[in-house]
A and B are shown apart, each in its own frame.
Chain A
Amino acid sequence: MHGIIRKGPTLVDGMLVVMLFALTLLLSSLMRPSAPGSVLEVKTQAGEERLSLDREGRYPVSGPLGTAYIIVEDRMARLENAPCPLKICERMGPVGASGQTILCLPNRISVRVLGKVSVDAVSR
């Protein structure tokens, strides 16, 4: 009766949990929330475009499933009317800090907040 799985929890289990917990704390301290962003980088199947967070409005973005809308309000952005089944992307917003991302996998849309970047001719 030589087993490879013991009846637990064992001391080694505890060590593994403590190790992973420490790793988690380390990672979260490395990733503090960052400065407010100013530009949205919107990637779709069609390509990439940039929107300014200063300009409030309702911008359509299209993917293979249909059109969703990016709502820019109070320097925050969120997705609305998403055609994807689970609508995870709608719940990922609103985002406004640099580095935050809204992602819609089924509809292949990603919206990322960038920090201080010069908004060039693409902004509207």
Chain B
Amino acid sequence: MRSPGRLATISLLICSSFVLASLERLIPNPFPMIRFGLGNIMTLAAFALFGIEAGIWVTGGRVVLVALIWGGMLSPTAVLSIAGGAASLLAMIAVMSIRGRFSLFGVSVAGAYAHVAAQIAVASVLYVRSLDLFRILPVLGGIGLLTGILNGAVAQILVEKMEGRLDQHGGSREPGVRIR
């Protein structure tokens, strides 16, 4: 059932995801390779509220919007963000397919780690043509674990707040996937 409420909420999640990703770019950061991945909070919320397909829409939408608005549709930066987005989606879906065991914390951590690993792998293969870049995987991966846990916590709080509201308005949410 594709209700207008569901569509509107997923659209809002995509927009919020884009705004968070943009804010993150605006914050001065002495280490540009280190990212919080705030946009992923909205993907996690979409997974929990509306299911896997909605989460794919949110990450896909964010990647496209960021590339459109911030420029560089086919630049190396965009290629890396597509690779990171795709890998984190795959990892998160894999984790969720182990039904009823993981919470948004685990999903988020899996996504963050896969994002980092995929970006390093793609940059190594396409642009550096050596394995040197993997030297920073321990650092970026460790930070990814931390940001993954934080994002998971924020996403869970957000989902709990949204669940109540969405249920009040009735019918806007797909049953079957929910935090319990």
Contacts and interface: CB of A to CB of B under 8 A. Distances in A.
A7 B156 contact: yes
A21 B180 contact: no
Instruction: Report the interface size class on chain B.
Output: 35 or more
Instruction: Report the interface size class on chain A.
Output: 35 or more
Main DSSP-derived SS at the B contact region = helix
Nearest to B113: A20
A57 B122 CA distance: 33
Interface in B89-147: 95-96, 98-107, 109-110, 113, 123, 127-130, 132-135, 137-139, 141-142, 145
Given A9-B103, A10-B106, A27-B137, A112 B132 contact: yes
Nearest to A25: B138
A8 B142 CA distance: 21
A88 B142 CA distance: 20
Interface string A7-26: 11110110011001101110
Contact of A4 (B31, B99, B105, B109): B99
A46 interface: no
B47 A31 contact: no
A121 interface: no
B171 interface: no
Contacts of A27: 134, 137-138, 141
Contact of A3 (B106, B123, B152, B179): B179
